[in-house]
Structure 1
Amino acid sequence: MSRELPSAGWPAGEPLTVAIAVPLEPEFVDAIRAVDPAVTVLYEPDLLPPERFPADHAGDPAFTRDPEAEERYWKLLNSADVLYGFPNESAAGFARIVAENPKLRWVHAMAAGAGAAVKASGVSSAELERVTVTTSAGVHALPLAEFAMLGILNGLKRTAELAADQRAKHWPALRTPTRLASGSHLVIAGLGEIGLETARLARALGMTVSGTKRSAEPIDGIDEVATADRLPELAARADALVNTLPGTAYTDGLIGREVFAAMRPGTILVNVGRGTVVDEEALLEALESGTVGYACLDVFAVEPLPADSPLWDHPRVLVSPHTSALSAAENRLIAERFAANLRKYLDGVTLPHRVDPVHFY
């Protein structure tokens, strides 16, 4: 979910300094510089950890700065009005820069769900009124939606059973039919940008779609839109349930025993939102009873997923290590999003995808 709140804007013609706090390719830094002549972009790649893979915003954990480089890094960030990325890509880094830099007005986060890190930083609501935090929500919508469809199709087409038979070199005497996507019904918990992109792909396969949103206004192409309290009612008609919701006090354990009890046997569950939304103990019970026929999980209540979690070894669960949003295009897409937002900020236009300073979504 995201909110659009007014931006304080920037005085016309006044110089504005942006500091790049996370690894980023030089061509994307140049694209940010090109937004306006009034913008100075500070970028010192030797102070940033190397990426191990595309969009590795935290960079190589083995990277360290000597005391002189560490001082230079923080001096650079403390001279900025706007930051691209959290310092050291951490909640602690965000807390430090807010405390040390009184001129800081805006930080753009790499994550779509940056609210959890903002909350973990302990930065006060008053400071969050001074320092706007925006997220990269929407940039990850397509890869997450494609992953959600992967999970749905895996469940419909029995790929877990096929893989087990292949490993055992077993050719069943009786062939088991698979289910069609066309004509199946998908319920999406969270009809934000990720949810709507998932709905678009699902409808292209002939699925019907319903889902939840904070306000239940109709949405074109969605059979029914309801608030989260009606999720059990929607789940009772689902062939598949996809969660895209962020982790908040309001979504914690939302997909739990009540929702699972309402499901029909063999329902597919996909989670590309946050792990805390799904009650994992209740999920395991639903898997054992057959209520959930297949679960495709990219996120978990505790990450990394503990080695003793039964989810690792369950024959009808796919464990993905919170990587479904990653793509080779991510850095470019986030830089383009930031550049567009920077133009808005300079023009005094509302900044989208601001982290709510009270509810942290």
Structure 2
Amino acid sequence: MRIYFTFEPRQDLREPLVEEFSQVDFVFQSGLTTEELQKADVVVTYGEDLNEENLQYATKLKWIFVASAGVEKMPAQAIIERGILVSNVRGIHKTPMAESMLAHILAIKRALPWMYEQQKKCEWSKKVKQTELCDSTALILGPGAIGSEVGRLLHAFGVQTIGCNRSGQKAPHMDVMVSFDKLLEALPKADIVLSVLPKTRETTHLLKEEHFKVMKKNAIFMNFGRGNLVDEQVLIRAIKADEIGYAVLDVFEQEPLAENSPLWTLPNVIVSPHVSSHSSRYVERSLNIFKPSLVKWLDGETDLENVMDLSRGY
């Protein structure tokens, strides 16, 4: 069996993998080549290098392991037609992403951006507007692995959590659950509106002008899921109209964000270049999911962890 990594893990992670699975022929290569695709039984990728054109060369390919949560850039229909199994690393992002989101929330609540600016100007001023996170309410769109971890951390700060998903079914660390069709009723209660939703047809432009109009004027809006959640112009209009207090954005409709986008310079906007999940332990955690799945695969099993339904996008 030949397993083709289209990226190169660190040596200290790669060597134990090769040693543990000595019966496997591993290829580690930065970047994808059609020559290696033609030989591969399994491809391990971040999901951005495979396309419909080069997939046709992968005639032996039976399993794609995606070291990422999103698969929107992959040729879903072609993969489905070929019957190729796809699994991913859903769940490994929860620790770094939850820490990133909590860091932004606390920074805003305790006025850290203002303090940094004062330091740059060498100005000693106590005219600072600080608020407390305690006793606030957070509405979390998409309380899966990441959203639930955020909820767990927010509970430690005395925050009430409202989870919102398609079904409204119960999720861990959510005090209340609502479905998408009840979102307009829940938004006015939230001091923090935080999305970690995946990119699907249903989540595309889920938030519209009417949703921002009912948010609290001092609400912190955070998008750490996918940029399709809201039309950029709708968001810009809401910020300019002071319909929300702050916007913290890790994802955008078009990435990288255009240099002339107003989001770079609008007050009370934080632009994070899609890095909230980055961590020195990212590949380590990915391999911790890959290895047990590989054991099953070598035994002829297809009931792997995090098998994806590409027709649904997750």
1:83 aligns with 2:43: yes
Structure-2 separation of matches of 1:103 and 1:220? 40
Matches of 2:181 and 2:307, distance apart in 1: 25
CA positional deviation for 1:315: 2.1
For 1:220 and 1:305, locate their aligned partners in 2 and report how far apart those are by CA, in whole Å: 33
Q: Deviations over 1:196-250 (max 9, x none)?
A: 1111111111111111123322234311112222222221110101110112211
Compute the displacement of 1:252 (Å): 1.1
Alignment identity in percent?
A: 28
Q: Aligned residues, how many?
A: 313
In structure 2, distance between residues paired with 1:280 and 1:159: 26
Counterpart residue number, 1:98: 55
Q: In structure 2, what is the equivalent of residue 204 of structure 1?
A: 156
Gaps of 5+ in 1: 1-15, 50-57, 59-69
Unaligned runs of 5+ in 2: none
- Give distance in 2, aligned partners of 1:181 and 1:337: 35
Residue 158 to residue 282, structure 1, CA distance change in 2 (3 Å): farther
Q: 1:81: how far off? A: 1.7
1:107 aligns to what? 64
Deviation, 1:325, is 0.8
In structure 2, what is the Cα distance between the partners aligned to 1:302 and 1:150?
25
**Alignment correspondent of 2:25:** 41
Q: TM-score normalised to the size of structure 1?
A: 0.79
Partner residue of 2:99? 146
Q: 2 CA distance for matches of 1:275 and 1:83?
A: 27
SS in 2 for 1:100: coil
Q: Which has the higher contact order (CA 8 A, sep 6+)?
A: 1
CA distance in 1, matches of 2:216, 2:46: 43
Q: Residue 239 of structure 1 contacts residue 267 of structure 1 at CA under 8 Å; is this kept in 2?
A: yes
Cα distance per residue 1:255-288 (max 9 Å; x no partner): 2212211111100011111111123222222222
1:1-361 to structure 2, matched below 5 A, reads 16-36=1-21, 39-44=23-28, 48-49=29-30, 73-85=33-45, 89-92=48-51, 95-96=52-53, 98-114=55-71, 116-119=72-75, 123=78, 125-127=80-82, 130-172=83-125, 175-347=127-299, 348=301, 350-361=303-314
Q: Is the 8 A contact 1:151 1:295 kept in 2?
A: no
Residue 166 to residue 290, structure 1, CA distance change in 2 (3 Å): farther
1:327 and 1:133 mapped to 2: Cα distance? 24
Q: 338-347 vs 191-200, which deviates more?
A: 338-347
